[in-house]
Amino acid sequence: MSYPKLATRFIRYAQQETRSNEQSVTIPSTRNQLKFARELVAELQNIGLSNVRISQKSAYVLATIPSNLSADYALVPKIGFIAHLDTADFNAKNIQPQLHQNYDGKSVIPLADSGYRLDPAEFPNLKNYVGQDLITTDGTTLLGADDKAGVAEIITAAEYLLTHPEVKHGTIQIGIGPDEEIGTGADNFEVAEFGADFAYTVDGGPLGELEYETFNAAQAKIKLIGKNVHPATAKGVMINALQLAMNFQAQLPADEVPEKTEGRQGFFHLVDLNGTVDQAEMTYIIRDHDRAKFESRKELLRQIAARMNAEFKEERVVVDLTDQYYNMREVIEKDMTSVELAKLAMEQLGIKPVVYPVRGGTDGSKLSFMGLPTPNLFAGGENMHSRFEFVSIQVMEQAVDLILKIVGLAVEQKS
């Protein structure tokens, strides 16, 4: 189905700078997110949603589309649709979306005057979009389809339902949250207040993606304590913290890194290293789909630190581990209603479900363990978190179709 406001709504959202900040201690982590959230509140109120507000605890924009069913449909589940309004750690100022209509699937797309381009030889996924209208960046910023495409799709579906009361649906809850990209957005989400039986994050990639299995995830901060003296008299005295960092890294499996793994293979990923001879800090993210292997990975870091400290007979390597999220499959596989409903909806729309273990996580990873089973649906973005990001208007329209089909099927199954 065509939704005339969808593309312009997405472009308007994309032009808002809402990058989150991992160093911040506020909720949300940046003022621009709160500014955008307030604008969404005004828009949702204007469309006609009920109980629109910003949660003081979580900073989520929350709203309700009340059921238009009779009491005979009391068993229709209350369904939530969730997206995030922040963007990732890449330039997000002065975003200038570019529209490329009726793409032929083979031409190189110049990204404005930036000197960058989308070339099918480098990005073969472009070949999937013959005849479609693509929105790209101008090469200087990300686009923000992750996840403003999801925000636009959910709000477009909500507007459609409120302007087409003949479409029967149960109670629908909407949540648009902050700080997903820094992993803290769902920490303060109030599941009971949200009031859904299950939900979907609309935060996936290409057409057909349906994900209910994610990584287990942790972050490790390693502090390495050296001893700096003049190098002329350093023998037997100096302890170089940077060398300790290299020694620590060398004891990890060389092939268990993101660039050498795929599928369900986990990894250790060194994302930051800085310091001096006197002191250094390293930050790792640890990922694995299997919970036992995940715990073993964390234990290996502790063992390496213990061995190094034993050599010095004092603590010079300090490991601080923090779990970030867990594989939501552990929760969702106990009741696959949400997944089966989404698969059936896709099939009835002629969309082939693409179900695979996502090598990452969504807010649904945390929400599922908080009592709200939340698989992930496609939103359409490709090459996300980069200047090469793009999204198809037609895929975004199919995402709206899917939301509407899910809420319709939920009624049909209880009739």
Catalytic residues: 86, 180
- Record the tokens describing residue 51, joined without a space: 């109980």
- Record the tokens describing residue 161, joined without a space: 């339902």
Whether the Cβ atoms of residue 182 and residue 59 lie closer than 8 Å to each other: no
> Where are any strands of DSSP class E within 42-180?
50-54, 61-65, 79-84, 98-100, 109-110, 117-118, 134-136, 172-177
Work out the burial of residue 349: count CB atoms within 10 Å of its CB; fewer than 13 is exposed, 13-18 middle, 19 or more buried: middle
d(CA 193, CA 268): 37
Report the DSSP beta bridge partners of residue 53. Answer: 62
Helix (H, G, I), strand (E, B) or coil at 336: coil
Residue 34 CB partners (closer than 8 Å, separation 6+):
28, 54, 59, 178
The answer, yes or no, to whether the previous bond of 187 is cis (omega within 30 of 0) is no
Whether the Cβ atoms of residue 175 and residue 370 lie closer than 8 Å to each other: no
Whether the Cβ atoms of residue 371 and residue 123 lie closer than 8 Å to each other: no
CA torsion sign for 199, 205, 208, 211 is: negative
Whether the Cβ atoms of residue 374 and residue 367 lie closer than 8 Å to each other: yes
